[in-house]
Amino acid sequence: MPEVAISIESLEKHFDKFHALKDINLEVPDGQTLVICGPSGSGKSTLIRCMNGLEGYTSGQIEVLGLPVGDNALVLDKVRKQVGMVFQNFNLFPHLTILENCVLPQIRAIGRDRKAATAEAMDQLHKMQVEAHSKKYPDQISGGQQQRVALARALSLKPKIMLFDEPTSALDPEMISEVLDVMQDLTRADMTIVCVTHEMGFARAVADRIILMAEGVIVEEGSPEQMFNDPQNEITKEFMKVVHS
Amino acid sequence: MIEAVPPPSARMSTLNWARKNFFATWYDAVFSIILAVLIIMGLNALIGWAFLDAIWSVENKDQCTYDAGACWAVIESRGRLILFGLYPYEEQWRSTIACLVVISTIALSCLPVFWSIRRIPILWIAGFTIFVLLMRGGFAGMPLVSSDQWGGLSLTIFIFAGVFVIGMPLAVLFALARRSNLPVIAKSFGFFIDIVRSLPLLTILFAAAVIVPLLLPEAIQGNKLMRVVIAFAIFFAAYQAEIIRAGLQSTPKGQEEAAVALGMPYWSLISDILLPQAFRNTLPSTINQAVITFKETSIVTIIGFFEVMASGNAAIGNGEWGNQYVEVYVFLALIYFIFVFGLSRYGAWLETRMRLGHA
């Protein structure tokens, strides 16, 4: 049995009257790449945002690396230091340079000194092939480059788990592949990854497991082979047909 | 073959420019000419009054009549009173240096290099302390000058700087408190801010000067100037807090989420990520608030402070220069203009700078 990175038990989430997540049970083993897909409004983003406490929940249990994700700010803090997140809209800090975007969180979150933080940041920016832009500001580079900087920023904190919330949805089509390429390199490393995406080609290529959500419920889960070639559920069949056409 | 026609000259000659903008139609022409005549007459009168027919030195004081031009001799004679109020004559160099220190502090804090949560407080506290030490004296052979004797331009600048230095941190505090997740704090600060904003400044200053001493024991009531500056600062903070709050609200939610997801602590989220963006987003309003505050310092006259406006009035109040009130008011207007125009130009420069790149 591999170690469990994320475990979720009977999770319920309400936004006022809207029932966003219904009895979610999920285990992500260490090192697995899990892709969450499904039509919009199905609760994928809400689920992934619950995993690092950006979103609270009504009832149930979430454990990340053995730590209970809940109301305790100290525990949440420990969780967030080991869980990186990349957002749909990049969310780089617009008033800081690319380099400072990657350096400051290291100093503030894990107390690294500036010299070490700069070295680490440059190393990550190099891996993401954006180190040439380190002195620029976020709005001076393309969306694809910004997303790779956001990835470098998260990775320079050396997280054990990476969460991706629709990382390519806000990108122009020609920039999607440059981001997926660097993400693919990550999936080969032994990092635990949870990714919400509509890029089914990417999902098929890198996922160890795919789950499909609809209306706040996990409808079906399985290996990419299973999900693409032999879907059992009607909703999955319908969804696969739509994304393939 | 047909030769290519050269493009029409893009630049207009002066004559064409004048024709297009001033003489396009017959009524344009009439208005242009009438306005030109009025402007020339006005300028002529102004230059004649202010420069050509002006009397500059006190020796020629008896030539100052209604027929002559501006009698700038009044400034020579009364300038020190206007600038320094009742500050002792021999010690006025201290007031001058103190003023220059505060002005350079203001100028330095306008430079983006100083815009950090560490540098700005150090700069402000240093500048403010030097000002108070110099003005007050009482050490190193400098005789003590109590704040009752402070006056003129240095008092105006002191009040302005004091209000800004005390009011700005208060404003940040108020804005954060009003956004607090704890309803008790958010509601009570919201209520307090709205109360302060609905009271006239004059009432608040009167209360600080006259009523607070009746309520507080002598040991903690401080002197009148201190109370008035603090009350003014609270008034300023209530308005500035709403500006900062607007700036915080205009910062996208994703900024906070990114910082939180990266594990950055709350104080860092506020001071490194949200406040810098909030201040950048609201710079025009903040500068506007600073301009208003500078002009409103003249209100303290009413509770017996001898700031630049009051000392200007005193300069013409004793009969000797009673006829030269226009000159004195023009001089005062110039002082205000230099400060306010400087602030406005600085604001415009910042906006261009931020539009082009980054501040």
Smallest Cβ distance to A85: which of B261, B273, B277? B261
Amino acid at position A226, single letter: Q
Q: Is residue A132 helix, strand or coil?
A: helix
Distance between alpha carbon B321 and the CA centroid of its chain, in Å?
29
Distance to chain B for A1, nearest Cα, Å: 29
Quick check: A91 and B272 CB within 8 A? Answer: no
Distance from CA of A93 to the nearest CA of B (A): 7
Please report which residue ranges of B212-265 form alpha helices under DSSP H: 212-215, 218-221, 224-250, 253-261
Question: B356 — contact with chain A (CB < 8 Å)?
Answer: no
Q: What would the DSSP string read from start to end of A174-203?
A: HHHHHHHHHHHHHHHTT-EEEEE-S-HHHH
Q: For residue A2, what pLDDT is reported?
A: 56
Residues forming beta bridges with residue A9, ordered by sequence position: A61
Q: Which of A77, A92, A95 sits opposite B263 (nearest CB)?
A: A77
Q: Please answer yes or no on whether B263 and A93 come within 8 Å at the CB atom.
A: no
Q: What number of other Cβ atoms are within 10 A of residue A170's Cβ?
A: 14
Bridge partners (DSSP) of residue A18 are A15
Tell me how far apart the alpha carbons of residues B105 and B84 are, in angstroms, rounded to a whole number: 20
pLDDT, position B357: 52
Asked whether this complex has an ipTM greater than 0.95, the answer is: no
Cβ of A54 within 8 Å of Cβ of B260? The answer is yes
Interface test with B, best of A83, A90, A91 (most B CBs within 10 A): A91
CA nearest to B128, candidates B167, B89, B92? B167
Q: Which residues of chain B have pLDDT under 50?
A: 359
pLDDT digits (tens, 9 = 90+) for A166-222: 999 999 988 999 999 999 888 888 899 999 998 888 899 889 999 999 999 999 999
What pLDDT shows up at residue A50?
Answer: 95
Q: What's the pLDDT score for residue A234?
A: 87
Residues in B closer than 8 angstroms to A150, CB to CB, are 258
Residue B9 has what pLDDT?
A: 65
Q: How far apart are CA B117 and CA A229, in angstroms?
A: 57
Mean pLDDT value of segment A157-161: 94
pLDDT at A51 (0 to 100): 95
Please state, as a whole number, how many other Cβ atoms lie within 10 Å of the Cβ of residue B210.
12
Percentage of residues of chain A with pLDDT beyond 90: 78
Per-domain residue ranges for chain B? 76-356
Provide DSSP, B116-154: STTHHHHHHHHHHHHHHHHHH--BTTBPP--GGG--HHH
C-alpha B152/C-alpha B310 separation (Å) is 8
Residue A188: burial class (beta carbons within 10 Å; 0-12, 13-18, 19+): exposed
Residues ≥6 apart with Cβ < 8 Å to A224:
A203, A204, A207, A209, A210
Q: What's the confidence (pLDDT) of residue A76?
A: 93
- Count the alpha carbons within 13 Å of B209 in the hemisphere toward its beta carbon: 18
pLDDT digits (tens, 9 = 90+) for A35-47: 999 988 899 999 9
Output the pLDDT for position B174.
Answer: 97
What pLDDT score was predicted for residue B281? 86
Whether residues B254 and A109 touch (CB distance < 8 A) is answered with: no
CB B341 within 8 A of CB B329: no
Residues of A with CB under 8 A from a CB of B: 52, 54, 77, 80-81, 83-85, 87, 89, 91-95, 104-105, 108-110, 137, 150, 153-154, 157
Under a CB-based contact definition with an 8 Å cutoff, are residues B101 and B130 in contact? yes
* For B254, nearest residue in chain A (alpha carbons): A91
How far is it, in rounded angstroms, from Cα B312 to Cα B85?
A: 9
Half-sphere exposure of A93 (CA within 13 A, CB side): 32
Would you put residue A193 in left (φ > 0), alpha (ψ -120 to 50) or beta? beta
Residue B302, pLDDT score: 85
- Chain A contact for B254, CB < 8 A? yes
Which tokens go with A156?
């320079």
CB pairs under 8 A between A and B: 63
The residue behind tokens 């008011």 is B329
Q: Which helix (H) or strand (E) holds A162?
A: strand A161-165
- Measured CA to CA, the distance from residue B232 to residue B159 in angstroms comes to 9
Which chain A residues are within 8 Å of B353, Cβ to Cβ?
none
- Tell me the shortest Cα–Cα distance from A187 to chain B, in angstroms: 20
More confident residue, A164 or B354: A164
| CB-based contact A87 B254, cutoff 8 Å | yes
Domain B76-356 grouped into CATH 1.25.10.10: no
Query: pLDDT digit string (tens) for A65-117?
Result: 999 998 888 999 999 999 999 999 999 999 899 999 999 999 999 999 999 99
- Best mutation site among A69, A87, A93 for testing chain B: the one with the most B CBs within 10 Å? A93
Q: Within the 272-331 window of chain B, which residues sit less than 8 Å (CB to CB) from chain A? A: 272-273, 276-277, 280
Beta carbons of B263 and A105 less than 8 Å apart: yes
- Please tell me the distance from the alpha carbon of residue B127 to that of residue B161, in angstroms, as a whole number: 9
pLDDT of residue B359: 46
Quote the CA–CA distance of B259 and B240 in Å, as a whole number: 25
pLDDT at A46: 94
Angle at A143 between CA A83 and CA A40, to 5 degrees: 65
CA nearest to B359 within chain A: A95
